[in-house]
Amino acid sequence: MSEAPRVLVIEGIGPAREWLRHHLHVLWPAAQLTELAPAAAEGMPDEFGGGVFDLVVLSLDERREAALEWLARYARRPGFPPVVTLAGGGDEALAVRAIKAGAEDYLPRERLRHAALVRALSQALASRRREAVPTRTPGGVPRGWRRLETLHSGEFSSVVLAEHEDSGERRVYKLLHGGGVDLDAGLLYARFLAEYQSIAGLDHPNVVRIHDIGVSDDQAWIAMEYLPGGTLAARIGRGLAPGEALAMARGIARGLLAVHGLGVLHRDLKPGNVMLRADGQPALIDFGLAKAMRSEQAITSPGMIFGTPWYMSPEQGHGAPMDERADGYSLGVMLFEMLTGERPFHARTPMALVYQHRNAPRPPLPPTLADYQPLVHRMMAADPAARFESTAHLLMALEAAA
């Protein structure tokens, strides 16, 4: 038995989740727990193979029928980890349904004590028999695709361009390093999955199209469309006329309006996260930090700071609650840079940049661009209440400026 099993816990009730967390860590102090709300689990892709986990604990107390459907969809797949189900107020009929759907065991909460839970989980883990099925080529991309080049490589993920061996279609694959979710107790995988869930199914010219997601024992990836025009960062380096800068900002705002309409914040808007189509239209990419505005199961919590300090809103830089106006602020910083070729604030350390975004005077535009000063300064207002109240209002202002 592994001393540090990787356990997926699907439980939406706070006290029950805390109870499970306590007992699991008593049994396996080094256990790596990934916790998902039932609604998030239901959004998992059909390709999910579960091989990155050693055990699944599934609650049937919330959204019971959906949980049983989830169980039936995944549990009997080759290589899927054993699933132990829990339910309060259950009965023999529910136990039979859970076992038929593929559960390794069914435990009623009312009569459950630590010893019984330990015994059931240990037996389930001991029963695991992996059936590894290769799903990728040595280059990290799925079978049938040929890796052409690495577009970006970071500490936790890389982005590669691949071509289909038969059709010649090109796609971009974002690959998660480190063997699926076996990183930081599944937090990176949770963000990776959230990136897919944030905009999957959205078809908008100013947002990258996500094709699918894949998960296996040692790999997780997201496939997205290939945008051949390079990054906005490179385009800024070549220089933009004022009209081109305003047109680019309008396209980005339209993309933001689409994702904000889904209840999603980007939270890492910067020129490197905007790609250009063949016709020069901008498209938002990289939703790895995206966060549902109304989500109760946030991956990051207030007080945690993620993003790029050059373009980060004051509230994000100080770990305060955010809404769509935070993305609007980042767009304001980008518009300043598109118009001038320079970032508005400069400092030697990230924290000094965070301080400037909140406290420093907004830098003026050159006299030849003075007509755009009110627009840019309002977008970059330190106080969210002084900015445009919504992305729709911001887009109208950008259209009027044209």
Q: Report, as residue numbers or ranges, the catalytic residues.
A: 268
Contact predicate 281/206, CB 8 Å = yes
CA dihedral 129, 133, 136, 140 (to 10 degrees): 20
Alpha carbon of 121 to those of 29, 128, 272, 277, 297: distances in Å? 14, 11, 46, 51, 25
The two tokens of residue 44 are 């998992």
The two tokens of residue 318 are 């100080």
Buried-exposed string 257-266: b where 16+ CB fall within 10 A, e elsewhere: bbbbeeebbb
The two tokens of residue 185 are 């107790």
- CA atoms 112, 113, 117, 120: torsion sign: negative
Distance CA 181, CA 194 (A): 13
Strands 105-108 and 83-87 come out as: parallel
User: Which residues contact residue 123 at a Cβ distance below 8 angstroms, ignoring those fewer than 6 apart?
Assistant: 105
